[in-house]
Structure 1
Amino acid sequence: MVYAVVRAGGRQEKVEVGTIVTMDRVKNIKDGKVELAAVLLVDGENITTDAEKLANVKVTAEFLENLRGPKIHIQKFKNKTGYKKRQGHRQELTRVKITGIK
């Protein structure tokens, strides 16, 4: 069993070939391919955490779609002053499918 932990949009995700990952929006997608930086690689009994060896590891992914996350409602209120503030936020996301770990 081969899997890797990759840095994906400010977070770390455990991925295998065929895994679909939703991460923060990736702007520079070339030819529908995305390359992710590996933080850890597990290949059967071998576990690789050395930065020099991980520089040779390539985790490739195929771009699937850009989407937006659920709406988050932000409300602020201060008692007895008449202060009320309401905001909303939707995170920009990218969905990719892992195609290879080499």
Structure 2
Amino acid sequence: MVYAVVRAGGRQEKVEVGSIITTNRIAGDKDGNVQLAAVLLVDGDKITSDAKSLEKVAVTAEVLNDLRGPKIVIQKFKNKTGYKKRQGHRQELTRLKITGIK
């Protein structure tokens, strides 16, 4: 069983070949492929966490689609001053399919 822990969109994700993950917006190349930086690699009983060894590891993914996350509402209120503020936010997300760990 081969899997890797990669850094993607400000978080770390455990991925295998064929898994689908959702991360913060990542722009792919013209073919829609993305290279992800490996933090840890597990290949059966062998665990690789050394930085020099991980430079040789290539985790590739293809961009399936770009989407937006759920809307969150931010409300601020101060008592007795008449101050109210309301705003919303939707995070820009990208869905990736892992195509290879080499």
Q: What is the TM-score of this pair, normalised by structure 2?
A: 0.97
Task: Say which SS state the counterpart of residue 60 (structure 1) adopts.
Answer: strand
Q: Distance in 2 between matches of 1:18 and 1:100?
A: 8
- Misfit runs of 4+, over 2 Å: 27-30
Residue by residue over 1:49-94, the C-alpha shift from the partner in whole angstroms, topping out at 9 and shown as x without a partner, is 0000000000000110000000010000011111000000000011
2:28 and 2:63 in contact (8 A); partners too: no
- 1:18 maps to what in 2? 18
> Which residues in structure 2 correspond to 1:20-99 (within 5 Å)?
20-99=20-99
**Amino acid in the other structure paired with 1:19:** S
Q: Distance in 1 between matches of 2:29 and 2:73?
A: 30
Task: Say which SS state the counterpart of residue 64 (structure 2) adopts.
Answer: strand
Task: Say which SS state the counterpart of residue 31 (structure 1) adopts.
Answer: coil
Q: Distance in 2 between matches of 1:29 and 1:92?
A: 18
Q: What is the TM-score of this pair, normalised by structure 1?
A: 0.97
Task: Say which SS state the counterpart of residue 53 (structure 1) adopts.
Answer: helix
